[in-house]
């Protein structure tokens, strides 16, 4: 936090030597090469996204795999993990799954959120679609943005309409049973 002179005090609970592109407390790189202080749960979006090392990418993949396995355990269907890290700059993986009803999609989303929070200490930076909108009951398409990976939970009709699998057909995909 800046004091009266504008200097920032060092916090001992933060690893200041690592760039954080995943919404955790720390510093990220600004466009001018300086650093940006980040608050808990607020993703740094002012600077360019810092590419992950192979080890970090493997960790992100394991987090996405936990989300996919959780969806599978909740009877989600047609679950896929798309490897996006070479195609886009905003995320590394997309997890896509289908629930048979809006009640099931909401329940899958809730269970994934609980697993991510209690097993990994991760909270999504944004969640959309859980609640009723202007002309919807909610749950047709739930998006959970964990920055490094994004989870899409669809009803069958919404999945067919948006066709993310087709849109990102160039991405390597892993089917989860």
Q: Residue 136: CB partners within 8 Å, gap ≥ 6? A: none
138 sits in which H/E element: none
- d(C-alpha 23, C-alpha 44), whole Å: 7
pLDDT tens digit sequence for 42-64: 454 455 566 678 888 999 999 99
Pick the CATH number of 54-176 from 3.30.460.10, 3.40.630.30, 3.40.50.300, 3.20.20.140: 3.30.460.10
Name the pTM for this structure: 0.71
Q: How large is the average pLDDT for residues 71-91?
A: 94
- d(C-alpha 58, C-alpha 53), whole Å: 9
Question: What does the domain layout of the chain look like in residue ranges?
Answer: 1-48, 54-176
The partner residues of 172 in beta bridges, in order of sequence, read: none
CA distances from 16 to 37, 139, 140, 175 (A): 10, 39, 40, 37
């Amino acid at each position: 936090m800046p004091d009266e002179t504008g200097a920032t005090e060092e916090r001992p609970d933060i690893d200041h030597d690592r760039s954080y592109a995943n919404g955790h407390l720390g510093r990220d790189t600004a466009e001018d090469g300086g650093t940006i202080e980040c608050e808990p749960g607020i993703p740094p979006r002012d600077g360019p996204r810092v590419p992950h090392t192979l080890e970090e990418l493997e960790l992100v993949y394991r987090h996405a795999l936990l989300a996919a396995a959780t969806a599978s355990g909740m009877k989600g269907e047609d679950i896929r993990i798309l490897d996006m890290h070479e195609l886009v700059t905003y995320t590394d993986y997309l997890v896509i799954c289908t629930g048979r009803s809006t009640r099931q999609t909401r329940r899958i989303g809730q269970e994934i959120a609980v697993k991510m929070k209690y097993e990994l200490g991760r909270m999504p930076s944004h969640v959309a679609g859980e609640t009723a909108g202007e002309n919807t009951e909610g749950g047709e398409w739930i998006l959970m943005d964990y920055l490094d990976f994004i989870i899409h939970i669809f009803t069958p009709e919404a999945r067919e309409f948006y066709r993310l699998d087709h849109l990102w057909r160039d991405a390597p995909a892993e089917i989860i049973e």
